[in-house]
Amino acid sequence: MTFVVTDNCIRCKYTDCVEVCPVDCFYEGPNFLVINPDECIDCALCEPECPADAILSEDELPAAQKVFLEINDELSRVWPNITEKRDPLPDADEWDGVANKIDYIERN
């Protein structure tokens, strides 16, 4: 099992989760973070650290968020690893809680 970064991280990109990860399995895109499912050890340390509640256990993903398991796997293989906390995006507070942000993922 793995943890998955879901929709609410898009255009927020809080990185509180990154600094508690003991295996450095987070990867950073322009406006979204992902978890590499092969590297995640299911320790659950990241989930409570996310201010946007965007990290869920694979087993707890609602049907509408299951696509993020594949997105996390795909993008963690091309984006650079992130291991230190950084500032969130400037308008993160405005985007936190906005639904259906999948079309806003910047992949490059």
Q: Is there a domain that residue 64 lies in?
A: yes
Give a three-class secondary structure readout of the chain.
CCEEECHHHCCCCCCCCHHHCCCCCEEECCCCEEECCCCCCCCCCCHHHCCCCCEEEHHHCCHHHCHHHHHHHHHHCCCCECCCCCCCCCCHHHHCCCCCCHHHCCCC
Q: Give the domain extent around 54.
A: 3-83
Q: How many structural domains does the chain have?
A: 1
Q: Is there a domain that residue 101 lies in?
A: no
Residues pairing with 56 in the sheet: 4
Six-digit token string for 31: 């406006």
Dump pLDDT digits (tens) for 53-84.
999 999 999 999 999 999 999 999 999 999 99
- CATH number for the domain spanning 48: value is 3.30.70.20
CA–chain centroid gap for 85, Å, is 13
Q: Is there a domain that residue 71 lies in?
A: yes
pLDDT score, position 38? 97
pLDDT score, position 1? 87
Q: Is there a domain that residue 58 lies in?
A: yes
Give the predicted TM-score (pTM) of the model: 0.96
pLDDT score, position 31? 97
Residue type, position 72, single letter:
N
Q: Is there a domain that residue 37 lies in?
A: yes
pLDDT score, position 17? 97
Give me the phi and psi of 92, to 5 degrees please: -55, -45
Residues of the chain with pLDDT under 70: none
pLDDT score, position 37? 98
